Structure 1
């Protein structure tokens, strides 16, 4: 029994620096913005003190699942907001400026830092066998990895994307989308280079053409855009 307690203490001491680093990176106040632009006065505070599940967290002026936030933790580069039962009510990943994510019921939302938190990726992400978010380098949310099947759909660029005149990597380059830019797609199709989705006409000055849903470079495979805006 004494050996078991000693082993547990060693494991806790080894994990503590990493946990403290995550707590320091994300601790503070965050403003919540939902996918339809609604915010109200909903704010989340992430504390550095240990709670029942991970670290303590509180919500102010929030409705729905976020009203039940009682804790938070990090895992695999993602930030999980936890309810009173310890289950995740929302999951987020850093995009370099904010935390992008979704609630447990699939509603897209963003956490914008209010306490000067730096959510840029200052260190290279660990090697991961998954499709990743290009801003954070960590595994992208499964709902953003998925190829859209319902159209039209507003999406948000996760990386600079080439717009091709045809669904062919050798066709004419007619423009580019920017990271964080929202645009509407009206179809997706499989091509030899991967899934290409068609930008609907008249989208924020963008030409009508095709962009890759996923792209691959020397660092791995990444999502080209998130399936919400």
Structure 2
């Protein structure tokens, strides 16, 4: 006996509602597969299952159709995954589409309670696990920052015309004094057998990795008249505990 249209419509409506609920959260997050996509995936999966049941008068095997749905959704999910350099985006969206198809398949097979439960778990994964994921990312970020603690020693060298040496030394001292995390250990000059030019070398100690301060100092002095070259490097490191 063919499935009554009322049961067909009810199961399709359940797939529609549950798919829309999943899509609402994705739409709110401004994802590429949002409200309409997840709703259509859920409804489509349910429709294929209902088609199988209707054509075979419940004598067929809807699980075979379900297997084909899983394969087909795999191609659809691959379309939303983008790779930019070393970054991959869209995996979460693709997984959501896959899950929406599962919800629709359950609804189409008449497993309403299971479909509702699956949709609830999907929503829980998005809403409940997202804050946890953000905290874990922050924890990893803080751990990376912790690895940069300790004492760092930098060697800063510049080559300039002899006439601007004193001016550049004063600028360098002023910059280091302004940064509380930096401390000047030594500052010396030499002509290196070329009297017209002077080589100024500073040994700087930093509380933590402070490469940005070195870059900032180099950028500032590069703009000064008479500077021909600037280099800097990490010359040593000491753990804060040691």
TM-score, normalised relative to structure 1: 0.24
Structure with the higher helix share, 1 or 2: 2
Structure with the higher strand share, 1 or 2: 1
> Which structure would you say has the larger Rg?
2
With CA pairs under 8 Å and 6+ residues apart, which has the higher RCO, 1 or 2? 2
